[in-house]
Amino acid sequence: MTEVKILIVEDDDVLARIITWRLTNLGYLVCGRASSGAEAMDLLVREQPDLILMDINIKGDIDGIETTSRIKKEFRLPVVYLTSHSDGPTLERAKATNPDGFVLKPFKDHDLRVAVEMARKK
Amino acid sequence: MKINNRIIVILVVAVFSLLVALALISHFFILSTFSDIEQKQAVADMQRVLTRLNDEVEDVAAICREWAQWDDTYSFVNDLNPGYVRSNLAEPSLFRNLKINYVLFFNSSGELVYSRGYNHDDGSIREVPPGLLAIVRDSILPGGSAEGVSGRRGYSLLDGQPVILAGYRITRSDLQGEPAGTLVMVRQLDPGRISEIAQQTDLDIMIRPVLPVKGSPGAPAGESFNGENDAIRITTLNASVIEADATITGIENTPTRILVSVQSSRLLYQQVQASVAYLALAIILLALVLIIVIRWPLKKYIVNPLLSLDSTIKDIGRTGEIFRQVTPGGDDEIVSLGNTLNRMLEEITRAQGETVASESKFRTLTETSLAGIFVYRKKILYANHAAEIQTGYSREELSCMDFTEIVHPDYRDRIRDLAEKVLRGDETNTNAEFKIIRKDGGERWIDSSAAPFDYEGEKALLAVRVDITERKRMEEALRINEEKFRALIENTPDIVFSADVTGIFTYVSPQVENYGFCAGDLVGKSALDFVFPDDWQVFGEHFVRTLEDGRARSTPFRILDRDQNLHWMEANFAVTRDREGVYTGLQGTCRDITERRKTLDAITLANRKLNLMYDITRHDILNKITILFGLIDMTHASSSTEEREQYLKEIGDAGQAIWRQISLTRDYQEVGVKSPRWNSVREVIAHAIANFSGSGVQIRSDVGTLEVYADPLFEKVMYNLVDNALRYGAKITTISFYHRISDKGLELVCEDDGVGIEAGSKEKIFERGFGNNTGLGLFLTREILMITGIAITEQGKPGNGARFVISLPRGTFRFSEQREHPDHETINNEENNHD
């Protein structure tokens, strides 16, 4: 089976390490971790992941939703949001970018695997 | 006066006027002309007489000259030959024929050598009177001259009688040799001679001496005459005689003056007078005839038809049968007059019919009128049925009453004066409101208007009186209500206003003065002038839509007061209509909702901030829980003791973070819950820094009585600023609070002497998550201040300490009137530093 390369966009170091640990345990290849939108775009070009796990609140001038919008336009890659936001406006903004899945915090391995697989099947 | 008599009087007056005109014309023109002619004739007669007298003088002179040139006379003077006397001087008839009365011979020595006088009346010889010699020596032989003045001739008076003298030198007939003397001949103009001259001239002549100057000594008796020589004076002696007078001068060196008068009868003048009299008489007679002759046809053709018309008209007037017609015959002006009278009678008949109808209408109107109608002078002459109801008196009772009797005593004099003025025409405004007293004693308010008119031949007043008692009651009630309404308007905190359909204020209540405007000044101005320009469109749209659909509306808007402070107002207005339902404008109230608006805005913003904070908090906690779950799973999966200890430590850190987040939530749970309020900066700082009493840093407060309108968590702001300074200031020793004036209002400054903020972080420090602690302190500080529109920035120089500047726009700060605090207040003193 071909390994699935996943790029993690998360500004919290500890959380990024936990996500990496969980994805690795699930058999996915974490090809990189970015803390901001600009860093994510750089890694995207360099690592060419199969899927991106995107936190909405990240460092930098653009948030995760804006970064996803750019990725969708330029690379047409599946993006799964990692978010603790459940308020209407944020979710509406996120949905407008046609994401490939949502993973609501807090999450477990199963939540991650379902979201990734669902995104890959699209 | 009868027409007949008038005609006679007119004719008599005409004749009299004619006679007067005739008299005036005859006096000033005809008789005057004839008088002039008469006087000219008298002058001509006088000149004829004077010529005749002059002929007499020349006649005497011719006789004398002839005799003086005789040789016999020459000889006689020398020798006094008696024969000469006998042949020439002895015969009186000769001298009578020559009409010479005296002859005097003077020799060459001037001595009288012979003289003789002749009385022609009786034919006797007489002596020469001495007076004649005196005349001769004063004229022909003047000053004793021996030779005399030859050829001298003229008049003189001898014993009061006029005489003619002439003297010539006696010479030979051939005029050779020396003159022998002087011959003087005298003709006496006695009455007989004058009578002869009168007969010859057919004039009545008188010759008399003249007194040159009346009363002069030695003057001879005679007429006085002041005229010049040869001047002719005309005198009308009486109606039948006119006299012309002239003087002739004597021959003497000292001449006498002789008056010649010619009297003429005034026949022509008298004839003209008689002719004028005859003409006047003829005019009188003619007038009498005319009066007699003209009167008959006048009577037949004019007077009698007129009398007939008069009789008919009188008959119609007496019987009142105006429908009758006069019946003149013919086609002259009297017939035309009759026809005109007939038309007038027809017109009167028609008018009378209309008058009757009009009077009937008047009666009907007055009797059905709800207003009391009175006709009165002093007494009431007429009152309608409504007047009976109005006053409670019957018409019979009213007709016996003075019109002021029913007027209330308080108004009686004024109404009486007004009625008199209206009757005299001195007053045109006849409206009056007054009270009357009814028969039953009740008082009623009356609105009366009166006008003068002719009633039964005399001027009277027609008054229409309307009972306005109910209206007065309503007006009083209205006045009371208006007072209540006005008190309500003026005591309510809201501004009450009304405007016309163009938005021009027609009324603004005095509450507007709270904003520095004068209520009276706003009336007449556009309501938009009152509205803050940014809100013109919204306000205008509401205004127009209300006028379009008539629905009451409420709209918030802002105004700038005189001090340029912005106030939020809420206008509630509705349309006003006239009786026909047409919109006349808007009226409503304006309530100052600045405080409410601030509160609402603050609460809205606070809720948003609170939600944001909850969202952030929840997000952060969920992140930490996610970390917790992950670390737990990782701990379970790990077999390494070191790893597990590391994971457990991280689990503890995550739990700690969750606790801080929850603590933060507790601290800020009041954000937006309570309304913003005025916070005393000094007290807030004092409370906030009480938590840092052991910090060892000196905190100075120089904020006076400044108060800031902010969320109650304003104290947390002050706390965060001090906490931030202490946490990151490093070398900090002093924190100062003070205020300063800025362009937009006031600035509250928190300044320290620590390491300051790096240039690149001046704005990031207000972002969530910045810093080593929760990352929310300054973020929430800015959010709290923004609730009431207050901004905060960091403006310090890196290395010289931080300076947080809180910008307070107008309306968010004030200085209380409480007692002044010390200008500089050190909160943490040295003693505290050691605690």
B288-341: pLDDT as tens digits: 888 788 778 877 877 787 888 788 888 887 887 777 777 766 667 777 888 888
Query: Quick check: B111 contacting A, CB < 8 Å?
Result: no
Q: Do the bridges between strand B223-224 and strand B734-742 make them parallel or antiparallel, or are there none, so unpaired?
A: unpaired
Q: Do A107 and B654 touch (CB under 8 A)?
A: no
Taking each helix axis from N to C end, the angle separating B31-68 and B191-201, rounded to the nearest 10 degrees, works out to 120
* Percent over 90 (pLDDT), chain B: 18
Greater pLDDT, B580 or B603? B580
Res. B535: pLDDT tops 50: yes
Facing A12 at nearest CB: one of B611, B623, B628: B623
Per DSSP, what are the bridge partners of residue B241?
B265
Q: Tell me the average pLDDT of chain B.
A: 84
Res. B824: pLDDT tops 70: no
Mean pLDDT comparison of B162-166, B375-379, B560-564, B774-778, highest-scoring range: B162-166
Assess contact for B373 and B384: CB atoms under 8 A. yes
Per DSSP, what are the bridge partners of residue B236?
B242
Please state the φ and ψ torsions of residue B78, each to the nearest 5 degrees.
-85, -35
Res. B822: pLDDT tops 80: no
**Stretches in chain A below the pLDDT threshold 70:** 1-2, 85-87
The span from the CA of B153 to the CA of B59, in Å, is 10
Q: Which domain holds residue A105?
A: 5-121
Cα B237–chain centre separation: 72
CA distances from B700 to B230, B573, B612, B742 (A): 150, 52, 34, 21
CA distances from A56 to A70, A90, B169 (A): 14, 9, 189
Assign domain B369-473 one CATH number from 3.40.50.880, 3.30.450.20, 3.20.20.110, 3.40.50.300.
3.30.450.20
Nearest in space to B445 (alpha carbons), one of B430, B431, B434: B434
Band of pLDDT at residue B277, cut at 50, 70 and 90: confident
Residue B171, SS3?
coil
Structural domains counted in chain A: 1
B642-654: pLDDT as tens digits: 999 999 998 988 8
B114-135: pLDDT as tens digits: 998 988 888 888 888 988 988 8
Q: Do A14 and B625 touch (CB under 8 A)?
A: no
DSSP state of B584: E
Question: Given strand B791-794, what is the order of strands in its sheet?
Answer: B791-794, B803-809, B745-752, B734-742, B698-702, B825-826
Greater pLDDT, A19 or B662? A19
**Cis peptide leading into residue B822 (ω within 30°):** no
ipTM (interface pTM): 0.89
Q: Do A15 and B654 touch (CB under 8 A)?
A: no
Residue with tokens 């009759």: B338
User: Which segment of B518-532, B771-785, B804-818 scores lowest on mean pLDDT?
Assistant: B771-785
The span from the CA of B778 to the CA of B767, in Å, is 7
Greater pLDDT, B5 or B775? B5
Alpha-carbon Rg for chain B in angstroms = 75
The span from the CA of B88 to the CA of B73, in Å, is 9
pTM of the model: 0.39
Contacts of A103 in chain B (CB under 8 A): none
Q: Do B619 and A109 touch (CB under 8 A)?
A: no
B66-91: pLDDT as tens digits: 999 999 999 998 888 888 888 888 87
The one-letter amino acid code at B601 reads D
Q: Do B626 and A105 touch (CB under 8 A)?
A: yes
Domains of chain B, residue spans: 36-265, 369-473, 492-592, 593-668, 676-833
Contacts of B654 in chain A (CB under 8 A): 14
Band of pLDDT at residue B1, cut at 50, 70 and 90: low
Q: Which two tokens stand for residue B317?
A: 């007037």
Q: Which of A105, A108, A109 to mutate to test the interface with B (most CBs of B within 10 A)?
A: A105
Contacts of B625 in chain A (CB under 8 A): 105-106
Res. B212: pLDDT tops 60: no
Assess contact for B750 and B714: CB atoms under 8 A. no
Assess contact for B116 and B144: CB atoms under 8 A. no
Q: Is the dihedral of CA B417, B423, B428, B429 positive or negative?
A: positive
Assess contact for B416 and B406: CB atoms under 8 A. no
Residue B655 makes CB contacts below 8 A (sequence gap 6+) with B624, B628
Long-range contacts of the stretch B131-135 (C-beta < 8 A, 24+):
B131/B158, B131/B159, B132/B102, B132/B104, B132/B158, B132/B163, B132/B186, B133/B104, B135/B163, B135/B165, B135/B251, B135/B252
Structural domain B593-668, CATH architecture: Orthogonal Bundle (1.10)
Facing A18 at nearest CB: one of B615, B618, B634: B634
**E strands of B230-272, at which residues?**
232-236, 241-249, 257-265
Cα B608–chain centre separation: 77
CATH code (residue A23): 3.40.50.2300
Residue B575 makes CB contacts below 8 A (sequence gap 6+) with B546, B547, B550, B583, B584, B585, B586
B451-481: pLDDT as tens digits: 888 887 888 888 898 999 998 999 889 999 8
Q: Which two tokens stand for residue B7?
A: 């005609």
Facing A84 at nearest CB: one of B623, B634, B650: B623
Alpha-carbon Rg for chain A in angstroms = 13
Query: Quick check: A109 contacting B, CB < 8 Å?
Result: yes
The span from the CA of B381 to the CA of B704, in Å, is 89
Assess contact for B384 and B364: CB atoms under 8 A. no
Q: Do A22 and B622 touch (CB under 8 A)?
A: no
Nearest in space to B541 (alpha carbons), one of B571, B516, B565, B566: B571
B515-532: pLDDT as tens digits: 888 888 889 999 888 888
- Nearest Cα of chain A lies from the Cα of B535 at a distance, in angstroms, of 30
Dihedral of CA atoms A105, A108, A113, A119 in degrees, nearest 10, equals -10
B380-413: pLDDT as tens digits: 988 988 999 999 999 889 988 888 889 999 999 9
DSSP state of B514: G
Band of pLDDT at residue B833, cut at 50, 70 and 90: very low
Q: Do B627 and A15 touch (CB under 8 A)?
A: yes
Q: Burial level of B349, CB count in 10 A (0-12/13-18/19+)?
A: middle
The residue of chain A with its CA nearest to that of B631 is A18
Which residues 628-657 in chain B show a CB within 8 A of chain A?
628-631, 633-634, 637, 650, 654
Q: Residue B103 belongs to what H/E stretch?
A: strand B102-107
Task: Give CATH superfamily name and number for B36-265.
Answer: LuxQ periplasmic domain, N-terminal subdomain (3.30.450.220)
The span from the CA of B580 to the CA of B491, in Å, is 32
The span from the CA of B418 to the CA of B434, in Å, is 12
- SS3 sequence, B319-350? HCCCCCCCCCCCCCHHHHHHHHHHHHHHHHHH
SS3 content of chain A, % helix, strand, coil (to 5): 45, 20, 30
The span from the CA of B352 to the CA of B344, in Å, is 12
Q: Do B626 and A15 touch (CB under 8 A)?
A: yes
Question: Given strand A79-83, what is the order of strands in its sheet?
Answer: A29-34, A5-9, A51-55, A79-83, A101-104
Q: Which class in CATH covers the domain with range B492-592?
A: alpha beta
Facing B631 at nearest CB: one of A18, A25, A84: A18
CA distances from B207 to B40, B55, B100, B299, B417 (A): 21, 16, 18, 69, 95
Long-range contacts of the stretch B309-316 (C-beta < 8 A, 24+):
B309/B334, B309/B337, B309/B338, B309/B341, B313/B341, B316/B345
Contacts of A85 in chain B (CB under 8 A): 615, 619
B684-708: pLDDT as tens digits: 988 888 777 667 888 888 999 999 9
Task: Give CATH superfamily name and number for B676-833.
Answer: Histidine kinase-like ATPase, C-terminal domain (3.30.565.10)
- SS3 sequence, B3-34? HHHHHHHHHHHHHHHHHHHHHHHHHHHHHHHH
Secondary structure (DSSP) of B721-746: HHHHHHHH-SS--EEEEEEEEETTEE
Which residues 34-73 in chain B show a CB within 8 A of chain A?
none
B419-434: pLDDT as tens digits: 888 888 887 777 889 9
The span from the CA of B465 to the CA of B389, in Å, is 12
Domains B36-265 and B492-592 fall in the same CATH topology: yes
Residue pairs spanning A and B at CB distance below 8 A: 47
For chain B, how far is it from start to end, CA to CA, in angstroms?
143
pLDDT for B829: 39
Q: Burial level of B593, CB count in 10 A (0-12/13-18/19+)?
A: middle
Residue with tokens 């309500």: B488
Query: Quick check: A18 contacting B, CB < 8 Å?
Result: yes
Residue B517 makes CB contacts below 8 A (sequence gap 6+) with B508, B530, B561, B562
Q: Which two tokens stand for residue B820?
A: 């002044």
Query: Quick check: A57 contacting B, CB < 8 Å?
Result: yes
The residue of chain B with its CA nearest to that of A19 is B630
Contacts of A60 in chain B (CB under 8 A): none
Residue B682 makes CB contacts below 8 A (sequence gap 6+) with B701, B703, B704, B705, B706, B821, B825
Facing B629 at nearest CB: one of A12, A87, A108: A108
Question: Given strand B257-265, what is the order of strands in its sheet?
Answer: B223-224, B204-211, B257-265, B241-249, B232-236
Residue B95 makes CB contacts below 8 A (sequence gap 6+) with B101, B103, B118, B120
CA distances from B637 to B280, B625, B627, B738 (A): 178, 18, 15, 58
* Percent over 70 (pLDDT), chain B: 92
For chain A, how far is it from start to end, CA to CA, in angstroms?
18
Res. B623: pLDDT tops 90: no
The span from the CA of B504 to the CA of B658, in Å, is 63
Please state the φ and ψ torsions of residue B583, each to the nearest 5 degrees.
-65, 130
B228-267: pLDDT as tens digits: 455 788 888 888 889 999 988 888 888 888 889 998 888 8
Per DSSP, what are the bridge partners of residue A79?
A52
User: Which segment of A32-41, B9-18, B192-201 scores lowest on mean pLDDT?
Assistant: B9-18
